[in-house]
A = this chain, B = another copy of it.
Amino acid sequence: MARKQGSHSDITGPRIEEAAAQLIARHGYAAVSMRQIATEVGVQVGALYNYTPDKQSLLFDMMHNHMDTLLSALKAENINGDALTRLEAFTRFHIRFHLPRPDQVFIAYMELRNLDPANFAKIGVMRRSYEDALADILQQGETEGAFAVSDTRVAARALIAMLTGLSHWYREEGQLEIARIETIYWDLVRKAVSI
């Protein structure tokens, strides 16, 4: 892990992101020092500042990348059809996207407080956009008479909290289990909004 003086590498950037994500997810942004991150990467502190202007940008970029990837992936799913079909697609997409990224999910939900006001606002918009995608599906279900939720925005938040909670305790216990987890959660979601 230790690097020699003068050893150059153009993969230091990605390694910083990885190390920072791991450490921040485990200990929290405020509790992790730039020195710790540098040690984990195998460079000296000064080297980090070739890749990020400051610690805050490190956090924001991680969260922004995460939300950006999430929204792009959701869009790419191109979820169409009747409300029930779309809800199932959304639910399974959410689980499949979030489960392999426990660190990013943790950070995205725990470190909002540590964002500068301007950065907080930007992430807030992205989060609301994701929430809206689910709320839209629920609204369609109401219109079609397929769902019964008295408040689509509240229900959307409730369901996302339920689904995301999964990422807070689930740790890979074999790939086979994921399918089962998906089914359990889809059952809960499907019935929760049913007539």
CB-nearest residue of chain B to A27: B113
What are 29 of the A-B contact pairs (CB < 8 Å)?
A27-B113, A27-B114, A28-B30, A28-B114, A29-B30, A31-B113, A149-B184, A149-B188, A150-B183, A150-B187, A154-B181, A154-B184, A157-B165, A158-B162, A158-B185, A159-B188, A161-B161, A161-B162, A161-B164, A161-B165, A161-B166, A161-B168, A162-B162, A162-B165, A188-B193, A191-B191, A191-B192, A191-B193, A191-B194
If A155-B184, A184-B151 touch, whether A114 touches B162 (CB-CB below 8 Å) is no
- The 6 A-B pairs at the shortest CB distance, nearest first, are namely A161-B165, A30-B30, A162-B162, A192-B192, A30-B31, A188-B192
* A194 CB → nearest B CB, Å: 6
When distances are taken between beta carbons in the complex, the residues of chain B under 8 Å from A28 are 28-30, 113-114
Q: Does any Cβ of B come within 8 Å of A110's Cβ?
A: yes
When distances are taken between beta carbons in the complex, the residues of chain B under 8 Å from A96 are none
Q: How many residues of A are counted as interface, with CB atoms below 8 angstroms from the partner's CB atoms?
A: 36
CB-nearest residue of chain B to A151: B184
Among A165, A181, A185, find the residue whose CB has the most chain B CB atoms closer than 10 A: A165
Q: Does any Cβ of B come within 8 Å of A169's Cβ?
A: yes
Q: Does any Cβ of B come within 8 Å of A101's Cβ?
A: no
CB-nearest residue of chain B to A106: B113
* A181 CB → nearest B CB, Å: 7
